[in-house]
Each structure stands twice: as structure tokens, then as C-alpha cells.
Amino acid sequence: MIPDKMKEVMAHEGVVAIVTQGIEGPHMVNTWNSYLRISEDGKLLVPVGYMHLTENNLAQNPRVLMTLGTREVDGTHGPGTGFLVEGQGTVVGSGATFDSTKAQFPWARAVLEIKVTSAKQTL
């Protein structure tokens, strides 16, 4: 479900925006392309440092929107491309996926697993 072009974007640095919906409206946090991983079953994995409000929101509504991009990968109109990702998210604080995330990112208190339902190129 994750396009090859998006994997190419993930290999270059850029800002990732993650949006969840809470009682008081949308909530957004940021991370880096270089922190994203793909699990064997195709989920996006995001190490979680703080993101407490994101975690609370996902407990009520698992819908996640994410954008990521980089100027280093050619898009449909020239240099730079990005993606809008939609999916269902869960914050996991134990188990094999968490352990492998913690090994790569010692500061992670959990991992955000996103089951991608859509990944659309935006640029």
C-alpha cells in the first residue's frame, strides 16, 4: 500500500505532520522522515517521544492523516514531492515492534503504528 515514490521520500530528510482528531478539534504533531519505518506487514511505524494528546485522541478515534515530503525527490512537476497518507493509528508500548523501535530510537516511549488506507502523491 505504500508507493515506491513515498519510500524514496522517506529516505530523504523532511518534516512529517501527523493529525488526529480530539474533543477540542484537530491536533497536529511533527516528526522527521528519517524516523519513519515500514513494518513487515506494511504499517508505517513512528517512534513516539511525547505525543500524549495524540495517543489520547487515537484511543477515541483511530483516524490519522499524515503529510510528508522532500525537495530531494522529483515530483510530478519538477523537484520536490510529497504525500498525503490516511490510515488507522494505534500507539503501542510493548512487544516486538516496540522493542525494535526502541533499539533504533532509545528515547522512544512507544511506537505509533499506522495501517495505511491511502497514500496519495500531492506534488
Contact 57, 27 (CB under 8 A): yes
pLDDT tens digits, 10-25: 999 999 999 999 999 9
User: Which pTM was predicted?
Assistant: 0.96
- Write out the three cell numbers for 97: 515492534
- Overall domain count for the chain: 1
Whole-number Å distance between alpha carbons of 14 and 71: 8
Whole-number Å distance between alpha carbons of 77 and 93: 41
What DSSP character marks residue 38? E
pLDDT tens digits, 35-77: 999 999 999 999 999 999 999 999 999 999 999 999 999 999 9
> 48 has which bridge partners?
110
* Domain housing 100: 4-121
CATH number reported for the structural domain that contains residue 51 in this entry: 2.30.110.10
